A and B are shown apart, each in its own frame.
Chain A
Amino acid sequence: AQSVTQPDIHITVSEGASLELRCNYSYGATPYLFWYVQSPGQGLQLLLKYFSGDTLVQGIKGFEAEFKRSQSSFNLRKPSVHWSDAAEYFCAVGESPGSARQLTFGSGTQLTVLP
């Protein structure tokens, strides 16, 4: 069975500092990987996704993520954090296109941004 681990429950960074959120996955085949962001009381917004090809993926709001098969990781990065980035971030792994279940979520990482 596939699984996703986000080792950091809570991360605090200063505004303008760089950010890296960790995500490790376990899946037997080629994974389809996603990062979503959730603001308080809101649904999830897709930041970026990896299906194949270039292992460095660019997303919205200045985020990027790098797929490293050897480390089973898909870490999310941003060079300079803004106060509006404070939110909950979820990494997810998807099954094959025809699978109905598709997404398994990590437990999430809460990001706090200090002024």
Chain B
Amino acid sequence: GAVVSQHPSWVICKSGTSVKIECRSLDFQATTMFWYRQFPKQSLMLMATSNEGSKATYEQGVEKDKFLINHASLTLSTLTVTSAHPEDSSFYICSAREPTSGRAATQYFGPGTRLTVL
């Protein structure tokens, strides 16, 4: 099956610093990747859609200057949390959508990254 990896799996940083999270599709090319945020005991909240070679599309209420997304290749998307603050502490999950071919595509999820901002 399709595998998506994330790195790091957890990170602790000081307030004001920036943190980069990588999302990779290991065995397929993904023109579209998604970034989600999940608070404890809650569902996933879509933050943005990352499109290879173009700008990301952000959901309403998500600060694009704070959550920088880069999708430079068909297998890698990065999320950079800039000037992180304690309220940015959360579980961040990425997913990669398999290429469509006249049918609905499936999203495969990474294992998530736990971010703690002190």
Q: Which A residues are within 8 Å of any B CB, using their own CB?
A: 32, 34, 36, 41-46, 49, 51, 90, 94, 96-98, 100-103, 105-108, 110
What are the residues of chain B within 8 A of A43 when measuring CB–CB?
Answer: 4, 6, 93, 109-112
Given contacts A42-B112, A43-B109, contact A107 B42 (CB under 8 A): yes
Q: Given the complex of chains A and B, what is the CA–CA distance between A94 and B106 in angstroms?
A: 9
Query: Number of contact residues on B: which range applies?
Result: 20 to 34
Are B107 and A97 in touch, CB under 8 angstroms? no
Q: Which of B11-19, B65-73, B79-87, B96-104 lines the interface with chain A?
A: B96-104
Chain B nearest CB: distance from A45 CB in Å?
Answer: 7
Determine how close the nearest CB of chain A comes to the CB of B73; give it in whole angstroms. Answer: 18
Tell me, yes or no, whether B26 is within 8 Å of chain A by CB: no
Distance of A54 from chain B, by nearest CB (Å)? 15
Residues B111 and A42 in contact, CB atoms below 8 Å apart:
yes
Chain A residues positioned under 8 Å from B41 (CB to CB): 110
Chain B residues with CB under 8 Å of chain A are 1, 4, 6, 32, 34, 41-44, 46, 49, 51, 57, 91, 93, 95, 97, 100, 102-112, 114
A to B CB contacts below 8 Å, 26 in the list? A34-B107, A41-B112, A41-B114, A43-B4, A43-B6, A43-B112, A44-B44, A44-B93, A44-B95, A44-B109, A46-B1, A46-B106, A49-B106, A51-B103, A90-B43, A97-B102, A97-B103, A97-B105, A98-B100, A102-B34, A102-B97, A102-B105, A102-B107, A103-B34, A103-B46, A110-B41
> With a CB–CB cut-off of 8 A, which chain B residues contact A100?
32, 49, 51, 57
A8 to chain B, nearest CB (A): 14
User: Inside 8 A of A44's CB, which chain B residues have their CB?
Assistant: 44, 93, 95, 109
- Report the nearest A residue to B57, measured CB to CB: A100
- Name the B residues within 8 Å of A103 (CB-CB): 34, 46, 107
Taken together as a complex, chains A and B put the C-alpha atoms of A100 and B108 apart, in Å, by 14
Chain B's closest residue to A9 (CB) is B41
